[in-house]
């Protein structure tokens, strides 16, 4: 994977070469192997490279035969060999063996209408010198990031916001509405970032900047189809289709000129991918896993079961509480927005282990839960609707106890069911029914906001904004599809694939690839009836059947173990460190102006003396610390945090400077 950056002004550039080099320097961690730039009178685009394909000849930016089209690109096009053959038949001449060059020639052949031909994960910037057109595009589900802002007629873009912030004239201020959204949804809504004036290109969208203006357009919709388009075939036939598509998705994601490893948690999803790799393509694959000190988080036993079953080479890290606390600030710096969980940090540590092993690419299990019906929140919504249709039923509510048997294990906790999960169960027709209970619970931590932040937020209602963003006809969708859409479009795209995916991997120059997010498989699952995704209270029913030939019964029969990381002790360890005390000092809290210092002090005192923390208090502490980290590093401008530690060494020759 790589990093891209640049700026375009159709009326002419006044930025310097040093500006572009500074931007690329800030994201050198995304591409430590090489760097390159192209500059003419109107555009400056650059690239830092993590070399995966065509190691010797794949440096970017890449151009066409006449040097009128240039592209800088972050990602992988997995079907590039097939597209390359198609383009050669059309008469195009290739000068490299990279997947990048396919983008150039597809644009020559078809204009901007080629995105749906790509199978992969990407964010690219293509500059058409003849039309003076910048074409920015992002992959369907948002595996790869790209951010942009408009300033004095120039469109400025980069893989990470920190690159944009190297330009001294860019405003660096926190958006109170974004803070409100994060403290509701765990992330910002699509298109928004934590900073005023900085936008994120949403998944499945592209931007055209031409002399006539700026155009933002969606080219792909999440494929969750109405009932008249559901598959009516035999479930065994559907199972075979899922299996074939998943195997092929794994096959093409192994295309690389470097070794490819896998993450192995011991759960169904990563075990399935690893087993397909080991049994069909590479029996010597290297696998990597996370262990935890606290038993309720640890899946080590299942990891080791899979290692013995497949006889693969496995390495693991122990994400101890102190290690999580020690790396929390670094992880947040890469996330570029507050996080309400410590879960990204062990993945940051795992990526470091992978890099130390010499591996650059890993396959992971992300996307299976969202599209195959794996999350408890999906089953919870179906149970609450069933309960809501007969709210006085005693036994219907007990299904929640069965779903969360690890939580409701005594009389006191069982009483919590009716108070928490029984809220508004008669409102199952609400389009947001599946998620409202969680969002309202998370919103409780907004009580820590400062008066000035509350004043700036004023009457803004993030949940109402979410309602306005729903696609046409959403009210008529099946409840499971509604829940899937909310989870995919908000949580998966804006948090899971970002804070727990791209950012933690690229912090150590590791590319993550996700077979379950192959768009062919997504399209099939969008046509699978809900009852084949969740059968009774059995999640991922069809996927488990599809993976059965690859996995031992102990894995397919497992109760889902959601990935989580310790919070209370980890965050307290950080808060009690020298850097933590500096971040949470009364002066720092007051200067940032985000939180009420008295309430923050009260929370710290409460958690310091408690044996355990409630979910709400732990989320509040994570959110407060991470927001303060962002303020200190990106707004308060500590140069050693905002700017790159290592100056980018770019060799510029006459072929890259065209003006």
Sequence-ordered list of residues with C-beta below 8 angstroms from that of 410, at least 6 positions apart, any chain = none
| CA pair distance 578, 564, nearest whole angstrom | 26
Is residue 556 classed exposed, middle or buried when 0-12, 13-18 and 19+ CB atoms within 10 A define those classes?
Answer: middle
Contacts of 419 (CB under 8 A, 6+ apart): none
**In 50-119, which ranges are E strands?**
62-63, 69-77
Write the Ramachandran bin of 460: left for phi over 0, alpha for psi from -120 to 50, otherwise beta.
beta
Cα dist. 158→27, 45, 163 in Å?
9, 10, 6
Whether 2 is a known active-site residue: answer yes
**CA 388/CA 235 separation, integer angstroms:** 30
Place of tokens 């949804």: 185
Handedness of CA 458, 462, 467, 468 (dihedral sign): positive
The DSSP code sequence of 167-185 is: STTS---B-HHHHHHHHHH
Cα–Cα distance measured from residue 353 to residue 227, given in angstroms and rounded to the nearest whole number = 46
Q: Is the peptide bond before 61 cis (omega within 30 degrees of 0)?
A: yes
| Cα–Cα separations (whole angstroms), residue 641 to 178, 197, 501, 573, 635 | 22, 21, 21, 21, 11
380 SS3 class: helix
Is 319 in contact with 347 (CB distance < 8 Å)?
A: no
Cα–Cα distance between 516 and 246 in angstroms, integer?
7
Rounded to 5°, the CA angle 355-357-362 comes to 60
- Beta carbons of 150 and 214 less than 8 angstroms apart: yes
- Residue for token digits 């693969």? 312
The catalytic residue positions are: 2
């Amino acid at each position: 994977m790589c990093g891209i950056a640049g700026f375009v002004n159709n009326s002419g550039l006044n930025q310097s070469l040093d500006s572009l080099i500074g931007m690329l320097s800030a994201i050198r961690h995304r591409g430590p192997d090489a760097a390159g730039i192209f500059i003419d009178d109107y555009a400056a685009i650059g690239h830092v490279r993590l070399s995966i394909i065509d190691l010797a000849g794949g440096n970017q930016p890449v151009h066409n035969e006449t040097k009128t089209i240039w592209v800088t690109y972050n990602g992988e096009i997995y079907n590039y060999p097939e597209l390359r053959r198609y383009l050669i038949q059309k008469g195009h001449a290739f000068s490299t063996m990279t997947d990048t060059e396919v983008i150039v020639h597809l644009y020559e052949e078809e204009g901007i209408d080629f995105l749906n031909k790509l199978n992969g994960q990407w964010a690219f910037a293509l500059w058409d010198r003849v039309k003076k057109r910048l074409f920015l595009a992002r992959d369907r589900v948002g595996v790869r990031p790209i951010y942009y802002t408009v300033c004095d007629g120039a469109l400025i873009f980069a893989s990470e916001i920190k690159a944009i912030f190297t330009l001294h004239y860019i405003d660096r201020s926190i958006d109170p509405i974004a803070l409100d959204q994060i403290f509701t949804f765990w992330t910002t809504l699509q298109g928004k970032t934590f900073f005023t004036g900085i936008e994120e290109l949403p998944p499945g969208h592209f931007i055209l900047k031409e002399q006539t203006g700026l155009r933002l357009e969606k080219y792909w919709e999440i494929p969750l189809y109405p009932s008249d388009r559901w598959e009516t075939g035999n479930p065994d036939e559907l199972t075979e289709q899922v299996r074939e598509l998943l195997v092929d998705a794994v096959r093409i994601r192994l295309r690389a000129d470097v070794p490819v490893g896998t993450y192995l948690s011991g759960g169904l999803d990563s075990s399935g991918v690893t087993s397909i790799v080991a049994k069909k393509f590479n029996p010597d694959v290297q696998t990597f896993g996370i262990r935890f000190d606290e038993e309720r988080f640890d899946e080590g036993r299942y990891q080791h079961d899979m290692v013995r079953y497949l006889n693969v080479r496995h390495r693991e890290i122990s994400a101890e509480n102190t290690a999580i606390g020690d790396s929390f600030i670094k992880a947040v710096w890469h996330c570029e927005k507050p996080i309400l969980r410590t879960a990204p940090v062990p993945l940051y540590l795992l990526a470091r282990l992978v890099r130390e092993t010499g591996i650059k690419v890993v396959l992971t299990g992300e996307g299976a839960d969202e599209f195959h019906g794996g999350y408890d929140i999906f089953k919870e919504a179906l149970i609450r609707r069933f309960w809501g249709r007969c709210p006085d039923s005693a036994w219907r509510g007990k299904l929640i106890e069965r779903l969360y048997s690890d939580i409701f294990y005594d009389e006191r906790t069982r009483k919590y069911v009716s108070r928490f999960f029984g809220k508004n169960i008669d409102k199952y027709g609400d389009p947001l029914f599946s998620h409202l209970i969680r969002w309202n619970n998370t919103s409780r931590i907004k009580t820590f906001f400062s008066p000035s932040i509350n004043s700036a937020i004023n009457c803004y209602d993030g949940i109402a904004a979410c309602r306005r963003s729903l696609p046409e006809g959403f009210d008529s969708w099946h409840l499971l599809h509604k829940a899937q859409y909310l989870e995919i479009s908000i949580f998966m795209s804006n948090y899971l694939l970002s804070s727990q995916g791209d950012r933690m991997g690229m912090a150590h120059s590791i590319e993550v690839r996700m077979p379950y997010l192959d768009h062919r498989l997504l399209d099939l699952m969008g046509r699978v009836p809900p009852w084949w995704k969740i059968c009774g209270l059995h999640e991922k029913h069809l996927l488990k059947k599809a993976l059965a030939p690859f996995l031992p019964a102990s894995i397919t029969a497992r109760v889902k173990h959601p990935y989580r990381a310790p919070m209370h002790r980890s965050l307290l360890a950080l808060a009690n460190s020298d850097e933590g005390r500096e971040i949470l000092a009364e002066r720092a809290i007051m200067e940032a102006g985000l939180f009420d210092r008295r309430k923050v002090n009260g929370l710290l005192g409460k958690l310091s003396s408690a044996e355990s923390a409630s979910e709400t208090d732990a989320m509040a502490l994570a959110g407060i610390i991470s927001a303060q980290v962002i303020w200190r590093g990106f707004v308060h401008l500590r140069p050693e945090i905002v700017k790159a530690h290592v100056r980018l060494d770019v060799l510029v020759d006459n072929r890259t400077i065209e003006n």
